[in-house]
Amino acid sequence: MNLLEIKDLTINNGNLKQFDKVNFNIDKNEIKSIKCTSDISDKLINLILNKNSFSIGEITLLGTLNHNFNKNILNRIGLYTLTDGLYARLTPFQYLSYFKKLYDSDIDIDYMLNSNGFDSLRNIKINKLSSSQQRRLSIMRVFLHTPDFAIIQNPFDNVDLESRILIKKLILEANSKGTGILILSKDIDSCFLTTDSVYIYEEGKILPVSFPEESTEESTEDTIDASNENDQEPENPDIDKKSDEQNDISNENDDKSMNISLKFNKVPAKVEDKIILFNPTDIIYCESKDRASVLHTVEGEFQCSLTLTQLESKLKAFGFFRCHRSYIVNLQNIKELIAWSKNSYSLILNDKNKSEIPLSKGRIEELKTILGI
């Protein structure tokens, strides 16, 4: 059953198509994320909930065209936006109790508070909570009445690690109970935290996210060859001859030869008009981000011309593992392995940001074998 279905939605903004024949749907028990700006996510929310009108296309929510919404339909929907306010003078217990009564919910407030890190904060005024704790509390309210469908805007934006973990747990638990969920985020990494069904808003379209190794390998072939030209045999016969002569030198020159080979194991990254070469041990993890490969290193983030498939081949011998179709991780930097559900896993890394990256369920057994657990 499609909880949300958008058909041929077309909206013009002057000479630009803000939405160009958009088709998109979410089924029961499904989570989908869309990477888009806050402005576009605001417009999508208003369109879905019939707060803004349109003339071309249609939007159906819970089996009802959005212009036919009634109170019963709206009561079956959960919503969180960045502009949502909180009753600052209430405590978390009072806040959730108020909405429990409003929604006529039978949920156990004590259990919800305790399982989401509010056992010691239940009687603290909301205005005394951190912004991360307030965000967590607002999203707890979204699922208080077990909605059929929920829309959440930027749930992981500027929150601490504890809240990031607990918000993810909230979303996955609600989904396991049947709630279909649409996540709108301006950050592609956040989109992948709860689902592999990730889309991107681009030039009026909502398109499935593609990955460099699948979509750009041919188009970047020249760049890839150029960046790896040192890995190929030199064409100049004089150089070939010189190389052969060096290979016949006695063992006292072996160190020199080894230093030459080490150079080829470095990973290139481009910064403006410079090429920086990284040792594999300096790389924490690699990811596919906005259709490019990005190296996360001890010195920061750097874009790389190699695809993830090429990086995987180059780095495997140095203890790197393809944990997800869009991530490769340095095994030495894994601090925690978290199982959110039987189908959802994450890795917490020991870098300064305590980065969290997804682990595909099809890779879990292989990783356990490698780590000896």
Helices H / strands E in the chain, number of each: 13, 20
Tell me the HSE value of 355 on the side-chain side, using a 13 A CA sphere. 22
Whether 263 shows a pLDDT value over 70: the answer reads: no
Q: Could you tell me which residues are beta bridge partners of residue 194?
A: none
Mean pLDDT confidence for 14-42: 91
Torsion, Cα of 86, 88, 94, 98 (10° steps) = -40
First to last CA, the chain: 40
Per-residue pLDDT, 369: 87
Whether 229 shows a pLDDT value over 50: the answer reads: no
Whether 233 shows a pLDDT value over 60: the answer reads: no
Start-end of H helices in the chain: 38-48, 71-74, 92-103, 109-115, 131-142, 161-176, 188-191, 212-215, 221-227, 237-247, 254-263, 308-315, 364-371
Per-residue pLDDT, 217: 40
Could you read off the pLDDT of 301-321 as tens digits, one per residue?
A: 899 989 999 999 999 888 999
Residue 47's closest CA among 59, 56, 57?
59
Per-residue pLDDT, 137: 95
Instruction: Count how many residues are written for the chain.
Output: 373
Per-residue pLDDT, 210: 63
Strand 274-278 vs strand 77-80: parallel, antiparallel, or unpaired? unpaired
DSSP code per residue over 212-239: HHHHTTTTTHHHHHHHTGGGSPPS-HHH
Whether 120 shows a pLDDT value over 90: the answer reads: yes
Q: Where does the pLDDT of residue 211 fall: very low under 50, low under 70, confident under 90, or very high at 90 and above? A: low
Whether 32 shows a pLDDT value over 90: the answer reads: yes
Q: Where does the pLDDT of residue 373 fall: very low under 50, low under 70, confident under 90, or very high at 90 and above? A: confident
Whether 251 shows a pLDDT value over 90: the answer reads: no
Least confident of 54-63, 111-120, 185-194: 185-194
Least confident of 135-149, 187-201, 214-228, 309-323: 214-228
Mean pLDDT confidence for 158-167: 88
Per-residue pLDDT, 135: 95
Per-residue pLDDT, 264: 53
Least confident of 64-68, 151-155, 302-306: 64-68
Is the separation of the CB atoms in 357 and 327 below 8 Å? yes
Could you read off the pLDDT of 72-116 as tens digits, one per residue?
A: 888 899 999 988 989 989 999 999 999 999 988 989 999 999 999
Per-residue pLDDT, 154: 94
Whole-model pTM: value is: 0.65
Per-residue pLDDT, 224: 35
- Choose between 306 and 70: higher pLDDT: 306
Query: Which residue has tokens 């970047």?
Result: 220
Average pLDDT, the chain: 83
Whether 218 shows a pLDDT value over 80: the answer reads: no
Whether 300 shows a pLDDT value over 90: the answer reads: no
Mean pLDDT confidence for 109-130: 93
**Domains in the chain, start-ordered, CATH in brackets?**
2-209 (3.40.50.300), 213-226+264-371 (2.40.50.1020)
- Choose between 352 and 256: higher pLDDT: 352
